Every structure is written in structure tokens, then in C-alpha cells.
Amino acid sequence: MTSTHLDTTTTPGNGSASSHGKTILIGEHAVVYGAPALVLPVLDARVVATVTPVSGGAPGHTLESTVHTGPLDLAPAAVMPTVTAVTATLRHFGVTDRHFHVRVDSEVPTARGMGSSAAVAAAVTAAVADALGETLDADTHHDLIQECERVAHGRPSGLDARGVVAAVPVWFEGGRIEPVALGARFTFVVADTGVPGHTRQAVAAVRERHDQDPVVVDAVIDRIGALARRARGTLEAGDAQGLGATMDAAHDLLSALDVSSADLDRLVDAARAADALGAKLTGGGRGGCVLALAADDDHADRIAAALRGAGAAATWTTTIGARA
């Protein structure tokens, strides 16, 4: 069971909860072939859901978000995972006679590999439960998020569902998911290229290369898996320099799989020019985000400024582990 980082605030009749984004520290693409992966919570990219009872015999639920504002039953396909978050939670508690206004405020961008749909589902399901005066245990919460993720993605791995409620990195291997102990405080900067990631195309391209030359691609996959194991060791030992080196090496291997892009490489170069301890693309690639490791908070500010100067559409700084 993972460590949970989900805030709820109870007010009689109302409910609220928050979650956060996530990203891949090491292991993207290789995890598809059975290699391990490390998922990093992005605590500063938050989603807040607020649920308020609808009075006066209103006929149904309403939603307020950047994608859709209006009756829930008229919501477009893009927010069906959010609709599912409301209806599945009410069904779980056997509630059929109450209607709510649901507001979602999200700082997690879509199509960037940051777990946007899972983060919204995590916040909304917990907020609906809160409005009912209930609390979701970790396993039930995960199952509800996964139900929403199946609407969004078909066959979700569960990485996003775990990452958006975790306070520490999550280790994923062979279906086993567990939190990773931290030996020190680590500070990361996430930078958005402003270009949507193309995960399906990137995964398909790697699959095609694997079909054509399995020996070469399997060797790269094995090396990424080894880097993930090494990265876990550096987290547990509190070795930021060692972790940064694994991140640099992972980016080079992902580039060898042709899942980077000019936009991603430009931001990686900018982070390294700002003396980041390590920098790499994160997620499916061919767009999306870059992840950089900083020495401390001031260094993170300098890296973030350099990334924005190099064209990043947005940056987030996330700190995990013991505070200095």
C-alpha cells in the first residue's frame, strides 16, 4: 500500500479534497516490456475538488470546470472520467437521492504525462465521499480512481492512480507497487514543453523497432531497468548526485529509442546548462515534460527560470523527503 498524500476538509453538507500530479522518474517505455519504473509525485501541481449539495429539488448533478460547466448528464466525452468519479462514488455508498454541484480546479495540464485524469478522479471521488460524511480507505479509493481511468484510457496500469495520491516515489515492478523510502530531501523541477505528448505513437514506434531488432531494443530496455534499480538505491541512500547521473543516462537511452524531440532536448539542455544534477524527458515523450533535479530550493528557482527562458510553457517545483 502506498503512502497517501490527499487532503480533505469536512464541512457539514459540503466536501472537498485535493490530489496532485505525477511523473515518471525512471522507467518510461521500458515498463511496457516488464522493466521496473519509479513514479514521482508532483506535489505542487494540485487538483482541488469542491462538492456542494444542490438544494431545491434540482434534477441532477452539475459540474464547474475549464472543460465543461453545466449539467453533468450533458457533459462531453472529455469529462466522462469526472462524471464517473461522481456516479461511481455515490454508487459505492448506495446513495441515489442526493445531487451535488462539483467544482474542479486543476493545475495539472492534460496530455503531458502528469496524470491529469487520475488526479481529477482522486480529488473528486474523495470530495464526494467527504460530502457524504464518509472517508475512502486507500484500496477503495484506488479502485474508484481506476474505474475512472478505464473510462479515460481503457487499460490503465495503475501507476497514475497510485502516483497522484502518494507523498513519496512509488516503485512499480511486475504488478507490485510499493513506496520508496527516502534518505534525504530531493527537489525536482518539472517543465512543460507546451506540446502535448504523443504516448501512443511513441509506444507504437518503440514496438515497431523492437519487432525489427529485438536484440538491440531489449538491450536498451534492460539498461533502463538497471537505471531504475540504481535510482531507487540513490533515493534510499540520499545520493542526489548519483540520482542525477541516472537521469542523464536515462534521457540518453530514451533518445536512442527515438522518443525524445527537439522541444524536449532543448529544455534538457537548458536544465543542464543551469547545472541541474540531472535532466531527462519524462513520460511517453515526443512532447510533454522534462524533469530536472536541483541541489536545493534556490537552485531549483534558477533551473526553473532557465527552463522558462528556453521556452517552457510552465514549471513546477516539487520537494520530497525530509526537510532541511
pLDDT digits (tens, 9 = 90+) for 5-19: 455 444 447 999 999
H or E segment to which residue 126 belongs: helix 116-131
pLDDT digits (tens, 9 = 90+) for 115-171: 899 999 999 999 999 999 999 999 999 999 999 999 887 777 778 899 999 999 999
What span, in angstroms and rounded, lies between the C-alpha atoms of 277 and 279?
Answer: 7
Alpha-carbon torsion, ordered 146, 293, 17, 283, to 10 deg: -30
Grid look-up 441532477 returns: 60
As a whole number of angstroms, the distance between CA 235 and CA 262 comes to 29
Q: What percent of the chain has pLDDT over 90?
A: 74
Beta-carbon neighbour count of residue 68 at 10 Å?
A: 18
Q: Degrees (nearest 5) of the Cα angle 215, 219, 221?
A: 115
Query: What residue has cell string 497517501?
Result: 4
pLDDT in tens, 214-268: 999 999 999 999 999 999 999 999 999 999 999 999 999 999 999 999 999 999 9
Beta-sheet pairing, 100-106 with 62-64: parallel
> Any idea which of 162-166, 167-171, 193-197, 319-323 has the lowest mean pLDDT?
319-323
Which set of grid coordinates corresponds to residue 266? 532543448
What was the pLDDT predicted at 10? 42
Residue 53: pLDDT over 60: yes
Model confidence over 62-96: pLDDT tens digits? 999 988 899 988 888 888 999 999 999 999 999 98
pLDDT of residue 57 exceeding 90: no
Written as one letter, the residue type at 162 is: R
| Average pLDDT for 36-65 | 89
β-bridge partners, 22: 41
Mind telling me the catalytic residues?
Answer: 160
How far apart are the C-alpha atoms of 324 and 321, rounded to whole Å? 9
C-alpha of 185 from chain center: 20
Q: Which has the closest alpha carbon to 280: 182, 197, 188, 161?
A: 188
Distance between CA atoms of residues 227 and 107, nearest Å: 30
pTM of the prediction?
Answer: 0.86
Alpha helix stretches (DSSP H) within 182-296: 199-212, 214-237, 240-256, 262-273
